[in-house]
Amino acid sequence: MTATAIDPYARVHAPGRFLHGLNPLGKLLAPLPAMIVLVFVRDLVTPLAFLALAYLLILVGARMTVRLALVLTVAVPLGIAVLGLGMAVWADPARVDRSVAVLSVGPWTLYGGALMIGLATALRLAAIVALALAAGVTTSGPDLVRATVQQLRVPYRIGYTALAAFRFVPRFGHELDVIRQAHRVRGSHGGRGPFAALARWWGYLVPLLAGAIRHAERVALAMDARAFGAYPDRTERHLVPFRRRDVVYVAAMWVVSAAILLAFFPWVLA
């Protein structure tokens, strides 16, 4: 059986936010060469250029939320600073440029060469994370599974079983919220302190486990009722096609990545 139509009830994305309308595999494939090369670069400018490219993609192509804004403006810069300083402290002083002393505490000295190495390492990791973030914040789990089944020919028994397992997580969150509200209404495990908190969480465990078992049984019955696994393939209700715009996006990202590498990467090391 083959798929015949694109989902007519698919959510319409905000105009200009083009990343949400691309195929998940294309969004993962586009930055992959740059992410691989970033593992091996040692300068500061190359990862900084890719970090700027990732920020530009997110700002232009993704829907901005408060959480995403905090990640971009607070978490990433703070992570670069903390990781860069930590890597600088761990660097071997005998293998770095010791012409400039940044900080001295007793017999220990932090040199400028160590600080540059730590900052370069932090920028590389931040650029890799930011490039992956551009795909991650604009891709849903179901669409990624559907794309792997439809384009990569992953057996649907594996893909949709994994999708069903992923959907247990928000279900557990909902069940836990319901259980906590029920306990508050009944006044169970009141009080403060570590022992009262431990008693509350212990009271959540059994009903949460019972709810998980009931949900698993319902999912299993629903899959059996739809003859899941009875045939080698199934009709797809929701299509995630690989369109011409996905090819253009992947090609454009590869060209821009190559241009950045040719412009900044020190191919010939002194």
Tell me the per-residue pLDDT of 108-163, one tens digit each, with 9 for 90 and over: 777 778 888 889 999 999 999 999 999 999 998 888 888 998 888 888 888 888 88
The count of domains in the chain is 2
The SS3 of residue 10 is coil
Residue 34 · residue 50 · CB < 8 Å: yes
Same domain, 48 and 136: yes
- What tens digit of pLDDT does each residue of 177-205 get? 888 888 777 776 666 766 667 777 777 88
Evaluate whether residue 3 is within a structural domain.
no
> In sequence order, which residues have a C-beta less than 8 Å from that of residue 22 and are 6 or more positions away?
138, 245, 246, 249
pLDDT for 12: 44
Residue 9: per-residue pLDDT = 38
Question: Are residues 136 and 44 located together in one domain of the fold?
Answer: yes
| CA-based nearest residue to 162, from 217, 240, 227, 219 | 219
Mean pLDDT of the chain: 83
Are residue 87 and residue 147 in the same domain, yes or no? yes
In this model, does residue 7 exceed pLDDT 60?
A: no
Domain hosting 198: range is 156-225
> Are 126 and 185 in the same domain?
no
185 and 250 assigned to the same domain = no
Inside any domain, residue 1: no
2 vs 95, residue with greater confidence: 95
Higher-scoring residue by pLDDT: 263, 2: 263
Helical segments of 91-193, H only: 112-136, 141-150, 156-166, 168-186
- Would you say residue 13 lies in a domain? no
Rounded to whole angstroms, the Cα distance separating 127 from 120 reads 10
